Structure 1
Amino acid sequence: VPDVYVTRADDEWRVTLNPENEPGLKLNRYYIDLLRKSGGKDAEYLRGRLQEARWLMSSLELRNRTLMAVSQAIVDFQEDFLEHGERAMKPLVLKEIAESVGVHESTVSRATTRKYMLTPRGLFELKYFFSSHVRTDRGGTVSATAVKAQLQLLLESEPRESPLSDQELSDLLKQVGILAARRTVAKYRESLGIGSSTERRRLYARQVSLG
């Protein structure tokens, strides 16, 4: 179940809270009236419970406001991903969102843990939008997510009779301006659940033999 929804309206990406996740809590009027009529220990007890209820409601409201602010900041930063897909994902760290929203990094970390965003491109955990980076030949950076997407495309179109080695993949990425070392390519390839060139050659051979 998504915690927030992302939609496109009036040329803007907008974030809305899932109504099912709104607390909808209200103080019971009966107990408020009872407190006014009570005295002594009864009044003290009721006053304590009402303070706890108000604190809980305030905490839930703050949590939702923080979730909305963090989600909107992520959407604003990753607008290219929403419009063009994984290859357009930008490098992003917690600190950048924390500075944008005006909270501590730990607050952003808590706000994005096990929280999900439904976008036109699918359902994602908020932490998905944070990614390390790889250098480019122009002195900039590209997100690890974007590099993996580019790597996936290269592997899907590789010649089956001669699968690309990690070094060859590194060289091809360099041709499009991405400076990813062979070890980095191997790590990303493995994270995609794709075997080495030797393993892929065997897989392709079996597929051919099976017709």
Structure 2
Amino acid sequence: PGTDRRFRVDAPFDPAGDQPKAIEQLAAHDVNALRRQLGLSREALREAIELIHSLDPHPGSQIANTTPQYIVPDVFVRKERGVWRVRLNPDVAPRLRINPLYSGMVKRADRSEDNTFLRDNLQEARWFIKSLQSRNETLLKVATAIVEHQRAFLDYGEEAMKPLVLRDIADELEMHESTISRVTTEKYMHTPRGIFEFKYFFSSHVATTEGGECSATAIRAMVKKLIDQEDRAKPLSDHKIAGILVERGIHVARRTVAKYRESMAIPPSSERKRLI
């Protein structure tokens, strides 16, 4: 009882052991109770916790028979001579044309069945190409408008993301909002910061004390940055994070911070606390 029971990596698991509360104490980050319960020194407990953190809670996922899903961007965004440029991906927006051999076979005065078949299909092909060109033009216009609004994000990152809604782009391009919604769904943009779905660039806003607006995406980035830089022994609560943002002129409620934190799959402060 007076000596430490050293932690052994190869020790067998005993489900009927005499430490039924250890898991609960570990989850509650109760270091002192864990040491008393297990009779371990601080160093031995630290080693045990580090081992637990190194384990994969979903080992079966490593052998899961899943097919990788690859994303092919619809547009490429590059900065050229200080200006952000948008170009369609030629692999998903190829230039099509009518084969002149077949268009030349159509005789206007010939009403034979073969000629009628060729003429009808030629008309459908031209309509298809025109529709595809219109679709590509709309896609390029929308992507260019998004990039114009979100240049700060491309230059500086998520914390510089501007508030933007579908209606803003629709009004600017004189299109219906449903058209913008359709064009931005499952369409992807390749940028120097990564590949993003068009809809990623749209977010609601929060008013600032200076009369400006801050996007929800920017606030989420700020929350994540604060948590990444926090003292692991004294993690920031949602209330504390909200207070820091208020000091920066961004008024958000504690529940809003909690919502953003949960959307990023970040646990609450009680679960982020480092035991040792």
SS in 2 for 1:5: strand
Q: 2: CA distance between counterparts of 1:109 and 1:119?
A: 21
Q: Is 1:36 the equivalent of 2:140? A: no
Q: Do 1:89 and 1:143's aligned partners in 2 also have CA atoms closer than 8 Å?
A: yes
Q: Kindly report the root-mean-square deviation, in angstroms, between the aligned alpha carbons of the 2 structures.
A: 1.4
Query: Residue 70 of structure 1: CA displacement?
Result: 0.5
State the match for 1:46 in structure 2: 118
Q: 1: CA distance between counterparts of 2:142 and 2:85?
A: 12
The structure in which a higher percent of residues are helix is 1
Gaps of at least 5 residues in structure 2 are 1-71
Query: Residue 80 of structure 1: CA displacement?
Result: 0.6
- Greater shift after overlay, 88-97 or 108-117? 108-117
TM-score (norm 2): 0.71
**Runs of 4 or more above 4 Å deviation:** none
Q: 1: CA distance between counterparts of 2:223 and 2:191?
A: 24
State the match for 1:120 in structure 2: 192
Q: Is 1:193 the equivalent of 2:269? A: no
Query: Residue 95 of structure 1: CA displacement?
Result: 0.7
Q: 2: CA distance between counterparts of 1:101 and 1:14?
A: 18
The letter of the residue matching 1:33 is: G
In percent, how many aligned pairs have the same letter?
52
Q: Do 1:86 and 1:149's aligned partners in 2 also have CA atoms closer than 8 Å?
A: yes
Q: 2: CA distance between counterparts of 1:182 and 1:22?
A: 46
The letter of the residue matching 2:161 is: M
Q: 2: CA distance between counterparts of 1:134 and 1:178?
A: 7
SS in 1 for 2:91: helix
Larger Rg: 2
Q: Do 1:3 and 1:18's aligned partners in 2 also have CA atoms closer than 8 Å?
A: yes
SS in 2 for 1:198: helix
Q: Tell me the number of residue pairs that the alignment of Structure 1 and Structure 2 aligns.
A: 204
State the match for 1:166 in structure 2: 238
The letter of the residue matching 2:201 is: F
Query: Residue 10 of structure 1: CA displacement?
Result: 2.2
The letter of the residue matching 2:218 is: A
Instruction: Decide which of 63, 72, 80 is 1:9's aligned counterpart.
Output: 80
Q: Spell out the pairing of 1:45-84 with structure 2 (5 A cutoff).
A: 45-84=117-156
TM-score (norm 1): 0.92
Q: Do 1:2 and 1:117's aligned partners in 2 also have CA atoms closer than 8 Å?
A: yes
